[in-house]
Amino acid sequence: MQHAMAFMQISRGSVLSSTQLTQTGPVELKPGESLQLTCTVSGVQVSGYYWSWNRQPPGKRMEWLGFIQHSINGGNAYYNPTFSSRASISRDTSRNKVYLQLSSLTVADTATYFCAKASQFGKAVEHPSKNHTLT
Is the pLDDT score of 20 beyond 90? no
pLDDT of residue 15: 35
Model-level pTM?
0.77
Collapsing DSSP to helix, strand or coil, 124 comes out as: coil
Residue 131 lies in a domain: no
Domain contains 107:
yes
Burial 30-47 (b: 16+ CB within 10 A, else e): ebeeebebebbbeeeebe
Is 133 a domain residue? Answer: no
CA distance 51 to 64: 11
CATH number at residue 51: 2.60.40.10
Identify the band that residue 24 occupies on the pLDDT scale cut at 50, 70 and 90. low
Position 128 in a domain: no
Quick: pLDDT tens for 75-132: 899 999 999 999 999 999 999 999 999 999 888 888 888 888 887 655 555 555 555 5
Assigned domain for 126 exists:
no
Q: Does residue 94 form part of some domain?
A: yes
Assess if residue 21 is contained within a domain: no
Query: Reduced to 3 states, what is the DSSP secondary structure of residue 89?
Result: strand
CB count within 10 Å of CB 87 equals 18
